[in-house]
Amino acid sequence: MKELLTRSLSGLIFISLLIFSVFYSETAILVVFVIFGLVCMSEFSKLINLRGFIQYIIFLAIVGVFAYWKPSQEATMILLVFSIFVSFFLIQDLFTKKVIPLFQFKKFLLATFYISSSFAFLLLIPSAAGTYEPCIILGSFILVWVNDSFAYLTGKNFGRQKLFERISPKKTVEGFLGGLLFSCVASYFIAKFTLTLSFGSWLILAIIISSIGTIGDLIQSKFKRQANVKDSGSILPGHGGIFDRLDSMIFSAPFIYLFLKVLHYVS
């Protein structure tokens, strides 16, 4: 009972801080996400045994340039291409490698285009259409939370077929499908109550977040398995670290941003 209370309280604080910052101002969400990002970078650096402080400078530089100063769209697209390119390499490593190769150059590559750039895109998502729209990023997080919650509940009660037993023994195909289904249902209500994107657009976002977010979760699990740890950190009692809470969104962020930009150009 005490563990459940602690877990609920820390989760409530995390969610409340995120919601408050999203609706308060662009500056507030920038400050909160920079703090989250630095903590996440620290946790990730420990997982891959990346020492020093250069990765933190890279993080602040990328977030500062792309999320605060906001350079030309061409520069942002170049960052997006590199980020998605690295994401595909991580997906390849997930399915073809028993152990993700972590030579020094690749560690910095991941710190730059897996962690740092993803936080930049998380901050760019609300203004992907040109004006700041907090419900876009909040709706994306709601889809992640719905997917995670119902994937767990469906998998626990109906799970039979393992999804990726070698990396995450508790994840099941039934759980994944349950999370996807309820995310799609949630997308209807998000579209109806936020009056931002159409239901069709939110439905596509639900599919992107559920599928790519699950891959992101598996990739993070593989990093933890290689480091022989259960959680990436302990800053959130009962939940683990910031990286544990944001792994799905971190991996999904470049793809969400890409979809929103395509949607903006074709609409």
Statement: the pTM of the whole predicted model exceeds 0.75: yes
Greatest CA separation for the chain? 52
Residue 247 CA to chain centroid, in angstroms?
Answer: 4
Q: Pick the closest to residue 201 from 148, 250, 133, 267 (CA basis).
A: 267
- Whole-number Å distance between alpha carbons of 249 and 140: 8
Q: Mention every residue, 6+ apart, whose C-beta is less than 8 A from residue 161.
A: 172, 173, 174
d(CA 187, CA 192): 9
Amino acid letter for position 246: L
Q: Note down pLDDT in tens along the chain; length 267 residues.
A: 555 566 667 778 888 999 999 999 999 999 999 999 999 999 999 999 999 999 999 999 999 999 999 888 999 999 999 999 999 999 999 998 888 989 999 999 999 999 999 999 999 999 998 889 999 999 999 999 999 999 999 999 998 899 988 898 889 999 999 999 999 999 999 999 998 999 999 999 999 999 999 999 999 999 999 999 988 987 877 678 999 999 999 999 999 999 999 998 887
- Distance between CA 214 and CA 17 in Å, rounded? 24
